[in-house]
Amino acid sequence: IQTVSACAGLMGREHLYALIKAVANKDTAKCLNILDELHKASCDTERLCSELIDQFRSFLIIKTVQHPENLIICTAEELETVKALSNMFTSDFVMFALNVLTSASQAIKKTQNRRIEAEIALIRMCRPEGENDVSALNARIAQLEKEIALLKSGSFVQAKEISVPVPKAEPIKTDIPPDR
């Protein structure tokens, strides 16, 4: 099966899941490295985009339907993996990702350099703060709301320690001579 998949330009689920996790972690470099590996292995970019759309569709179904197993075709084990992956995203981000991937899929069909369209889509998904469309703004607001709720509950474990350089205090210069 792997030989047939390789010949057809398909990829294994592990690459797909690694790519999705990299998007969830907003790790642009990792996304582009995985895409590069897949490109070197002759993975079909259009097929990759289609598979990502299918996965994000599954995330949307999991987030909106009581019995997603009726609408998602996969094994019970795969469904558990997909459910776990879907928990890494808000519903608004899933909608944003679907918009980005759908646009990329359409662009891929019209261009000679399909890889660039896939790279742009991955970068956009990793950096929604640079997007100004409604779905991107909703995704950003939903992520902030999720982080606030986690902070309030005391279980915010995804926060990264941010090191902000503090400027050295400069002495205040005045024209008034010091007291003697």
Look up tokens 């024209």; give the residue: 175
Q: What is the pLDDT of residue 178?
A: 52
What 27-34 contacts at long range (C-beta under 8 Å, 24+ apart), as own/partner pairs, is: 27/126, 28/122, 28/123, 28/126, 28/127, 31/122, 31/123, 31/125, 31/126, 32/119, 32/122, 32/123
Query: How high is the mean pLDDT of the chain?
Result: 81
Helix axes 28-40 and 114-126, enclosed angle (nearest 10): 160
- Give the residue from 53, 45, 54 showing the smallest Cα distance to 9: 45
Q: What is the pLDDT of residue 157?
A: 54
Please state which of the ranges 59-68, 85-94, 139-148, 156-165 shows the lowest mean pLDDT: 156-165
CB 69 within 8 A of CB 79: yes
The gap between the terminal CA atoms of the chain, to the nearest Å, is: 88
pLDDT tens column, 101-146: 999 999 999 988 899 999 999 999 999 877 666 766 776 777 778 7
pLDDT tens column, 30-71: 999 999 999 999 899 999 999 999 999 999 999 999 999 889
Percent share of the chain, pLDDT over 90: 56
Residues 6+ apart with CB under 8 A from 55: 16, 20, 82, 85
Q: Which residue has the higher pLDDT, 149 or 24?
A: 24
Helix (H) or strand (E) holding 57: helix 45-64
Look up tokens 């990329």; give the residue: 104
